[in-house]
């Protein structure tokens, strides 16, 4: 997946608001991309690179993607899909990543199980992952979390439809997965 995510310039013209808008646009684009691929996908990591720098460094690639046909948004970010993370624990995979300075941020698409607060804790001596996966109130969700070097973050959560709930609500928020956002930010240090 490689395309420019554009967001409108905020009315106040602030650089921080523009950067947040760009990140939010990239996260929304990635969620749409993931939705087009369907469910039951492994975690997918993306480098977020400044589009203007990509166009300057890789003009042939930019032309092939249609990024060189018009003006390039100076604050635009382009997601670049990375190699699969493997089958190990996600936190360990992220701990081993260190992005070069040319990467402005990163984003991760990950499917997880969530339980309502009323589910409580897994009983003592029970495997919590198995307990959660068998819990009748479990819901599968797809999280898309993006971060940039200045600490900005954006995220979306899509709830997987079930036989009883066929709609797929998408919930936006900056801190839907604060621990995951922190882990992604640590890859940019």
| Structural element, H or E, at residue 159 | strand 153-159
Q: Which token pair is 76?
A: 């635009």
Confidence of residue 131 (pLDDT cuts 50, 70, 90): confident
For 13-68, how does the pLDDT look when each residue is reduced to its tens digit (9 = 90+)? Answer: 444 555 678 999 999 999 999 999 999 999 999 999 998 888 888 888 778 877 76
| Cβ(120)–Cβ(112) below 8 Å | no
| Cβ(76)–Cβ(83) below 8 Å | no
Confidence of residue 117 (pLDDT cuts 50, 70, 90): confident
Q: What pTM was estimated for this model as a whole?
A: 0.82
| Cβ(106)–Cβ(47) below 8 Å | yes
| Cβ(180)–Cβ(108) below 8 Å | yes
| Cβ(113)–Cβ(143) below 8 Å | no
Please state, in angstroms and rounded to a whole number, the distance separating the CA atoms of residues 47 and 108: 9
Q: Is the pLDDT confidence value at 96 over 90?
A: yes
């Amino acid at each position: 997946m490689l395309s420019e995510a554009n967001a409108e310039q905020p009315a106040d013209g602030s650089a921080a608001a523009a950067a947040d808008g760009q990140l939010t646009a990239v996260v929304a684009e990635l969620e749409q991309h993931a939705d087009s691929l369907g469910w039951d996908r492994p975690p997918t990591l993306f480098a977020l690179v400044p589009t203007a720098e990509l166009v300057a460094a890789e003009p042939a690639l930019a032309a092939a993607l249609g990024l060189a046909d018009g003006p390039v948004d100076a604050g635009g970010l382009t997601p670049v899909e990375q190699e699969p993370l493997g089958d190990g624990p996600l936190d360990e995979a992220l701990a081993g990543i260190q992005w070069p300075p040319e990467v402005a941020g990163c984003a991760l698409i990950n499917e997880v199980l969530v339980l309502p607060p009323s589910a409580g804790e897994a009983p003592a001596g029970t495997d919590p992952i198995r307990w959660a996966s068998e819990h009748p109130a479990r819901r599968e969700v797809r999280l898309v979390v993006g971060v940039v070097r200045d600490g900005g973050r954006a995220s979306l959560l899509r709830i997987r439809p079930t036989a009883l709930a066929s709609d797929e609500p998408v919930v936006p928020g900056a801190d839907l997965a604060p621990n995951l956002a922190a882990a992604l930010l640590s890859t940019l240090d």
